[in-house]
Structure 1
């Protein structure tokens, strides 16, 4: 555990020094800084109760399936403004940019994720606008497509996210969700668009492949 008197390391410098760059499993067109056993991620993440878990440091199945789908079906985002909610490492945002989106905005509440998105975007040669904020309690953003990868792992968060996505849909924003059917995914409100086998780091599955889905909200 970090000593109380020890300052937090600079996120960008720490990520560059300790998280090696490698292709994303199942999405090799995209390369990211990814955490490994020797990354010492706890030194950056902190251990306080209010510190967000370092989800951004790993490519989770919900993001991987969305990224795979957008790269395979670029017409879904080409020429459009895409907003990636809970963007983490920036995987889905980067995929949207590579697929030809006119503008991509990545939103996350974790300052370390914000740093990672900027670095990862540069590695992949794309431009992404980055916003550090919790927007799910606010009015719908300016966007044509809202993408959400793996945000249904907590019951309270799932309720808030679902309500926000409904408001976005009602305002005319297309909503795309990527998820390996985690416990709190509101499946009764969703329509499955596609399924892809992708690697997953969540739920104790390690690097094994799972059948993850891409979903839209039912009208």
Structure 2
């Protein structure tokens, strides 16, 4: 699947952006509004797994080599590129850090920006966060996040499937984001938006990244303090072009 270029063995990077299933209305998704056909499609075409990541205590529905769409040609997946279906190393590091340090989120309001599979939001909920919003622009990711919450015996978290960078900045105690610095233009937008959050609301920002080139050379590096490094599991290394570690960074503009 063409996600290989971004680090996974999956072949569907150029998947079609249309879809045969109704998605979540008005940019929001909740467990009670899941479309039965889409829910059944994801349950049939993903594998529940907790192996090979930094957080074996979290179960997730992901695309794996056991799934037929892992091997399918581009365009066969009936939705936009399934980036949510990979547990990326930056998200793994953030989730591991939160599980190991629950005081970081306990009793606090959390925005999981670019939530993907929802693992970091799930880790925050497991660790006692008082309010969580998972944000991902792919509505299918919103459905997957809800299913993943249920897999872990958690009530679904609220989900926003609009581009939050275009919306008025909310007040959050902590913003977490992993693997989001993969494109120069997006990185610039994120940098400014995160600075505004910090300056306006004194929001803390934690970033997870395995050291991708776009992140390592971006000007945000001058405003980061490394919190922790984690060695990646062998399977994650193989799926991410040999990257060996992933880090959590504290953004201090």
Please report the TM-score for the alignment, with normalisation by the length of structure 2. Answer: 0.76
Task: Name the SS for the 1:27 alignment partner.
Answer: coil
- Aligned residue for 1:15? 42
Partner of 2:9: none
Find the aligned partners of 2:177 and 2:71 in 1 and give their Cα distance: 28
Q: Give the match for residue 195 of structure 2.
A: 166
Secondary structure of 2:244's match?
A: strand
Give the structure with the larger helix fraction. Answer: 2
Higher strand proportion = 1
Match of 1:193 in 2: 227
Q: Does 1:82 align with 2:118?
A: no
Whether the 8 Å CA contact 1:86–1:151 is kept in 2: the answer is: yes
1:58 to 83, 86, 105: 86
Aligned residue for 1:153? 182
Aligned partner of 1:176 in structure 2 is 206
Q: Which residue of 2 aligns with 1:130?
A: 159
1:91 maps onto 2:119 in alignment: yes
Please identify runs of 4+ aligned residues in structure 1 that moved more than 6 A.
none
Measure how far apart 1:8 and its partner are.
4.8
Matched positions, count: 215
**How far apart in 2 are the matches of 1:40 and 1:173?**
42
Contact 1:55 1:88 in 2 (8 A): yes
Task: Please give the alpha-carbon distance, in whole angstroms, between the structure 1 residues aligned to 2:236 and 2:144.
Answer: 18
CA contact (8 A) 1:63 1:178 kept: yes
Q: Distance in 1 between matches of 2:145 and 2:119?
A: 8
Distance 1:184 1:203 in 2: 20
8 Å contact from structure 2 (residues 102, 127) kept in 1: yes
Any unmatched runs of 5+ in structure 1?
none
Give the superposition deviation at 1:137: 2.5
Q: TM-score, normalised by structure 1?
A: 0.87
Q: For residues 136-161 of structure 1, what are the alpha-carbon distances to aligned partners after superposition, in whole Å with 9 as ceiling and x for unaligned? A: 13332232111001100111111111
